[in-house]
């Protein structure tokens, strides 16, 4: 856990100027890891400044090798590749379990890689959303990622519950951007008896806010509420302790901070308390059936007594190979702990530079305290000369990849695996140059006007 003291220490260390960025890189024990990734290049052939790992993580160089191994196995062995080779396909997903479980703070029996994120949310709600006449509401954020919202309302509809009846929205206080956890706990206290499920993000995709899942889960469980977590922006980004926090289920994609390639197979966590419960309703498939009798082709479904019991189909091995490459790259870093330590420094440095170089022109809606955020900062632009969208486009034209989220945020994610302190310095330097270049010279003194 990052303590207040530790954070204060980090913040005091920062200085302006490029030399300081190089000094931080020099002191960074993880600085060589970026060479394990393919860095995208601009049309002119220069390396981009890539800050978009929140949307699509970069390709680990190992991915090519591991994918080639699968292709070769397939070419040389055909169907026998299921059983032969260094990494046979029949148990291929098992090669990922231990490392993935450790990244999210889970026991191996609680984790499986399967399907995609939204599919897994549906499968989890099939098992864990069991509405009754008294208890039938699902709590989600007002500004949840749309796919999560659609999944929730369609699950409610499946039980004959309308959105108006069944959805309990969580909103920031009027005029604020961030959720107040006290409001969530108060809602649990006041409405808890009617709530069947709370579905929250580990890291909010738009603001970058980290929620205290441990405390929320404790309060929710006291009221008999199931807690599910969407870790799309949390897995591979912050430290998680899913098992100890006692969450009921969690789902995450692997293509954001987990660098496993576009649309790659997703992760699913089901707490140990539930994995052996054969009474839970589930949508079943043959890959979730007991491994020893799977090929006996009987009609009596007998679920594997781990998270694997929720698998439906035999998985896409090429995609799992990319995940294995990513996990081995995380292992080179020594796991999530040292990465998170660097991440706190890297994002803290970005916040420091923005506050000192561009205060008034750029505001950060992401929480200030490192415990309350991951690597991403969500920026709003406040100059009269340039809209946020234009600023984003001009960054792009200068070889800086960030992402734009409607209505008005630029998300910037320095990723500790492959971003350097010099990258962060250059980002702020380029951002400042764009903003100054766009100033009307006659009002130059008034360049960076706060709204």
Annotated binding-site residue numbers for pyridoxal 5'-phosphate: 117-118, 145-148, 230, 233, 255, 286, 314
Q: How far apart are CA 303 and CA 287, in angstroms?
A: 9
Cite the DSSP H helix spans in 142-241: 146-158, 163-166, 181-191, 213-222
Q: Is 117 in the site for ligand PLP (CB under 6 A)?
A: yes
393 Cβ contact partners less than 8 Å away, ≥ 6 residues apart = none
Contact with ligand PLP (CB under 6 A): which of 14, 145, 269, 425? 145
Q: Which residues pair with 111 in a beta bridge?
A: 269
**Binding of ligand PLP at residue 253 (CB under 6 A)?**
yes
Asked if 249 is part of the footprint of ligand PLP (rule: CB under 6 A), the reply reads no
Site mask, ligand PLP, residues 175-194, x = CB under 6 A?
--------------------
Binding-site residues: 117-118, 145-148, 230, 233, 255, 286, 314
Query: How far is C-alpha 84 from the geometric centre of its chain's CA atoms?
Result: 34
Does 110 contact ligand PLP by CB under 6 A? Answer: no
- 102 sits near ligand PLP (criterion: CB under 6 A): no
From 116-124, 311-319, 370-378, 394-402, give the range in contact with ligand PLP by CB under 6 A.
116-124
Among 50, 92, 136, 205, binds ligand PLP (CB under 6 A): 205
Size of the site for ligand PLP (CB under 6 A): 12
Helix H or strand E segment including 125 = helix 117-128
Classify residue 450 as exposed, middle or buried by CB count within 10 Å of its CB (0-12, 13-18, 19+). exposed
Give 117 or 167: the residue with its C-beta nearer to ligand PLP: 117
SS3 annotation, 220-269 = HHHCCCEEEEECCCCCCCCCCCHHHHCCCEEEECCCCCCCCCCCCCCEEE
Q: State the minimum distance, in angstroms, from the CB of residue 253 to ligand PLP.
A: 4
Alpha-carbon distance 369 to 27, whole Å?
A: 23
Q: Is 141 in the site for ligand PLP (CB under 6 A)?
A: no
Least Å distance, CB 26 to ligand PLP, is 34
What are 168's two structure tokens? 């309990």
**Residues of this chain that bind ligand PLP (CB under 6 A):** 116-118, 145, 147-148, 201, 205, 230, 232-233, 253
């Amino acid at each position: 856990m990052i303590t207040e003291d530790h954070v204060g220490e980090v913040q005091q260390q920062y200085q302006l100027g490029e030399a300081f960025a190089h000094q931080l890189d020099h002191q960074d024990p993880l600085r060589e890891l970026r060479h394990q990734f393919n860095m995208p290049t601009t049309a002119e052939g220069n390396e981009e400044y890539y800050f978009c790992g929140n949307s699509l993580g970069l390709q680990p160089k190992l991915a090519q090798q591991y994918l080639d191994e699968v292709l070769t196995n397939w070419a040389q062995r055909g169907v026998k590749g299921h059983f032969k080779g260094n990494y046979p396909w029949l148990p291929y997903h098992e090669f990922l379990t231990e490392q993935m479980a450790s990244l999210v703070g889970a026991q191996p029996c609680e984790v499986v890689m399967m399907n995609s994120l939204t599919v897994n949310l549906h499968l989890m709600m099939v098992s864990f959303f069991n509405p009754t006449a008294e208890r039938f509401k699902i709590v989600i954020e007002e500004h949840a990622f749309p796919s999560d919202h659609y999944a929730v309302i369609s699950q409610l509809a499946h039980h004959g519950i309308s959105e108006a009846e069944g959805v309990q929205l969580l909103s920031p206080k009027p005029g604020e951007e961030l959720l107040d956890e006290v409001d969530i706990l108060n809602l649990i206290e006041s409405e808890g008896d009617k709530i069947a499920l709370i579905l929250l993000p580990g890291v909010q995709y738009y603001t970058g806010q980290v929620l205290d899942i441990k405390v929320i889960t404790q309060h929710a469980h006291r009221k008999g509420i199931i807690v599910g977590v969407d870790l799309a922006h949390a897995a591979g980004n912050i430290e998680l302790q899913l098992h100890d926090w006692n969450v009921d289920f969690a789902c995450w994609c692997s293509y954001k901070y987990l660098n496993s390639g576009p649309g790659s197979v997703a992760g699913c966590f089901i707490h140990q308390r539930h994995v052996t419960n054969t009474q839970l309703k589930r949508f079943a498939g043959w890959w979730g059936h007991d491994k020893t009798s799977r090929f006996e082709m009987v009609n009596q479904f007998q679920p594997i007594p781990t998270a694997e019991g929720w698998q439906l189909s035999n998985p896409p091995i090429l995609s799992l190979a990319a995940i294995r490459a990513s996990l081995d790259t995380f292992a080179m870093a020594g796991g999530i702990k040292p990465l998170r330590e660097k991440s706190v420094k890297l994002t803290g440095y970005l916040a420091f530079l923005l506050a000192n170089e561009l205060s008034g022109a750029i505001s950060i809606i992401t929480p200030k305290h490192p415990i309350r955020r991951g690597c991403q900062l969500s920026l709003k632009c406040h100059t009269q000369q340039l809209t946020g969208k234009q600023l984003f486009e001009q960054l792009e034209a200068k070889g800086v990849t960030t992402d734009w989220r409607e209505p008005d945020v630029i998300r910037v994610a320095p990723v500790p695996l492959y971003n350097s302190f010099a990258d962060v310095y250059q980002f702020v330097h380029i951002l400042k140059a764009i903003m100054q270049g766009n100033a009307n010279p006659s009002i130059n003194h008034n360049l960076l006007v706060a709204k």
